[in-house]
Homo-oligomer: A and B are copies of this chain.
Amino acid sequence: MTLPLNQLGIVKRTITRADRAAVEKLSRFGVATIHEAMGRVGLMQPCLRPIYSSARLCGTAVTVLLQPGDNWMLHVAAEQIQPGDVVVAACTTQNQDGFFGDLLATSFMARGAKGLIIDGGVRDVKDLTEMNFPVFSRAIHAKGTIKATLGSVNIPVVCAGAQVNPGDVVIADIDGVVVVPAALAQQVADAAEAREANEGDKRAIFASGVLGLDYYKMREGLAKAGLKYID
């Protein structure tokens, strides 16, 4: 998508969401597994934390670029949500105000949203938890926001250090948040599945006392690197 000079004040209505089956398949895997399947890239920074420990989500990104202290664009974004989407909100500067609360969550749920990723603050956390609406945020902060300045909806954004394009798959759990480019969703899902299958028996093996040193055949490499055992 070629953006005009001023990237603010834009709502893109038509976005290409990742393949639904691939998203469904990705939803079966944890964030750590998916990130490994992509070659260890795609993670947001660990400062984003779930508002309750069992929060978990997987869906296609509707992206939002917010202005500091202003949540106008979250209202605009609500209309663009389709069932299965996750709203991913970045901000033009670091800001921890409480951009999002129970009323917006009610709207988002009514549209079929799977949750929210926000590089900012949220509030009404008790309500959001009771509603079982998963949010991953940089802060919990009661600070209210205004509705005065335009940002954008469904443009590429950088959220907590990760590039997110509208339609990308976003998966989040207690280990963090990972972004899978829409075009790679199926490949990554397959790679994650292969990885998981391969991991299947390892727990039993390690539980039996076999060491990773032997299972992964690390001893030679360690010796070659110069590891010395002393008493």
A contact set with B: CB distance below 8 Å: 2-3, 5-14, 30-32, 35-36, 38-41, 43, 45-46, 49, 52-53, 65, 67-70, 72, 75-76, 78-79, 92-98, 101-104, 106-107, 109-111, 121, 123-126, 139-144, 146-150, 156, 158, 161-163, 173-176, 178, 181, 183-184, 187-188, 191, 199, 202-203, 206-209, 211-213, 216, 218, 221-222, 225-231
Contacts and interface: CB of A to CB of B under 8 A. Distances in A.
Contacts of A78: 211-213
A72 to B, nearest CB: 7
A48 to B, nearest CB: 10
A202 B92 contact: no
B231 A7 contact: no
Contact of A103 (B103, B212, B222): B212
16 contacts: A7-B41, A13-B230, A13-B231, A32-B101, A41-B65, A46-B96, A46-B139, A46-B143, A69-B93, A102-B203, A103-B203, A106-B202, A106-B206, A126-B175, A143-B176, A161-B161
B144 A32 contact: yes
Contacts of A229: 11, 13
A32 B121 CA distance: 12
A17 to B, nearest CB: 15
